[in-house]
Amino acid sequence: MTRLFTLARAFAIACIAAIHLTAPASTASAAVSSERPTIVLVHGAFAESASWNDVARELRARSFHVIAVANPLRGVKLDADYVGAVVDSVKGPVVLVGHSYGGSVISAAAQGKRNVKALVFVAAFAPEVGESAADLSGKFPGSTLGPALAPPVALADGNKDLYILQDKFGSQFAADVAPNTTHLMAVSQRPITQSALAEPAPAAAWKNVPSWFIYGDRDKNIPPAALSFMAERAKSMKTIVVKGASHVVMISRPGPVTRLIVEAAGSDAQQP
């Protein structure tokens, strides 16, 4: 009986020792993963946070923490302050990713945020201070958004909400996405205020934060020439032009978009 008690006691001591020996490894692992950037995804006009679903799924499969922000789409400064508050809530480094008008938002939101290590512009505006999305979209020919817009919805504050006509949504916004998906996207699109598209950018964080760009050569919302111009001006670390892709390249081609985000997240690049 005494021998059995001794053996049990020895076994218990061995188990406790094993737990203590493995604890530092777990702690070290947690420390390493805490340095991995959080990916904050910001949608643009006529879209919503679910437009990032496929990219978010691929990023999560690579063990990234992901936040798809519900961009208010009320005004560049207001929206940037909202996204900036989300960035401030994250402990550790952040990669900000913006689509379309969301590019204007992340460029303003990242200003002065020391934990933002990279910006990724996905078919997105990267305005200079004082430039608006409308300015940049009209800088080069090719956008057919104007005729595709529905009659504006008047708001109580005197502003106007803009939508894309549902029967033109697919061809204008997402020509390379299956019709059954674009029909739902048209129904669930979120409007942007007319004033937001005309609001001058209050900041241009791409001047001091390393930036990456990806867009499709069949974009009908923002002319590809405008997107190329902005990428060159921002001294893009890498620019990918996806052949045949529409404005919603993150939906139609999530793979290349995800890979570029992962590259930006793992880079130690400094803005030239």
Q: Which helix (H) or strand (E) holds 241?
A: strand 239-242
Three-state DSSP at 222 gives coil
Determine the pLDDT at residue 178. 98
DSSP lists the bridge partners of residue 68 as 41
What does pTM read for this prediction? 0.87
Name the one residue in this structure whose structure tokens are 């002065």.
112
CATH number listed for the domain at residues 38-266:
3.40.50.1820
CB 124 within 8 A of CB 44: yes
- Rounded CA separation 116/105 (Å): 14
CB 92 within 8 A of CB 34: yes
Residue 16 has pLDDT above 50, yes or no: no
- Rounded CA separation 32/77 (Å): 35
Residue 10 has pLDDT above 70, yes or no: no
Q: Which helix (H) or strand (E) holds 272?
A: none
Determine the pLDDT at residue 250. 98
- Domain locations in the chain as residue ranges: 38-266
CB neighbours of 148 closer than 8 A, spacing ≥ 6?
Answer: 164, 165, 168, 169, 172, 173
Mean pLDDT of the chain: 89
CB 195 within 8 A of CB 75: yes
What is the number of other CB atoms lying within 10 angstroms of the CB of residue 271?
15
Q: How far is CA 4 from the centre of its chain?
A: 62
Model confidence at 24, pLDDT cuts 50, 70, 90, reads: very low
Determine the pLDDT at residue 268. 78
| Torsion angle defined by CA atoms of residues 216, 219, 223 and 227, in that order, rounded to the nearest 10 degrees | -30
CB 201 within 8 A of CB 130: yes
Q: CA neighbours within 13 Å on the CB side: how many for 143?
A: 19
Six-digit token string for 47: 């879209």
